[in-house]
Amino acid sequence: MLDHDKAQEMLAMMARSGWRITDQRRMLAQIFASTDSYLSPKDVYDQLTVKHPSVSFDTVYRNLRMLSEMGVLEQFYFMEGGLKFKASCLDHHHHHLICMNCEKTLTFDFCPMKETLELPGNYKIMNHRFEIYGICEECQKEAAEPAGV
């Protein structure tokens, strides 16, 4: 189901970054505002080409990367599934626990960056992400159950 507020917020961020709001970019916002799932560039391309058959995969990929850089999308790298994107949660700062099996994500508010870090070279941190990859409780239970039960 389309979250109109999320789509409008994404479009507003694009406009603030100087992007022209085209029909294709409006549809990109709608695609991500309609799901809580992770989408691969191919998933997005397949959905976008339904209404915009002339759009190239390179254009879709470039837009996804730029939307990620401006904070509209979060990008995650899955060992098996490669690079995937999801709409950013813009309400508050948080981090993620991500199941490598079913890709379910849990957020947590503890930020390890609040701890004192001794970084080399007087490094100034501008932004950060912290993800923990593992196997969720449900997938662990399924793996432990005997086959055919």
CATH number of the domain residue 145 falls in: 3.30.1490.190
Residues 105 and 71 in one domain: no
Pairing relationship of beta strands 131-134 and 95-99 according to DSSP bridges: parallel
Q: How far apart are CA 99 and CA 108, in angstroms?
A: 14
- Please list the rounded mean pLDDT of every run of 10 residues in the chain (149 residues): 82 91 92 88 95 94 90 80 79 76 79 73 75 87 76
Q: Indicate the annotated binding residues for Fe cation.
A: 93, 128
Domain final residue pick, 49, 72, 91: 91
What integer pLDDT is reported at residue 130 of this predicted model? 75
70 and 106 in a single domain? The answer is: no
Domain stop point among 91, 116, 135:
91
Asked whether residue 103 falls in the same domain as residue 120, the answer is: yes
pLDDT for residue 28 = 93
**Residues 8, 79 within the same domain:** yes
Q: In the prediction, which pLDDT does 80 show?
A: 72
Question: Binding site: what residues are annotated?
Answer: 93, 99, 102, 128, 136, 139
Residues 116 and 49 in one domain: no
For residue 149, the model assigns a pLDDT of: 53
- Ramachandran angles phi, psi of 80, nearest 5°: -90, -35
**pTM of the entire predicted model:** 0.70
pLDDT for the residue numbered 63: 92
Integer distance in angstroms from the first to the last C-alpha of the chain? 34
| Whether residues 45 and 106 fall in one domain | no
What pLDDT was estimated at residue 129? 73
- Binding positions for Zn(2+): 99, 102, 136, 139
Q: What pLDDT does residue 90 have?
A: 62
Domain that holds residue 29: 1-91
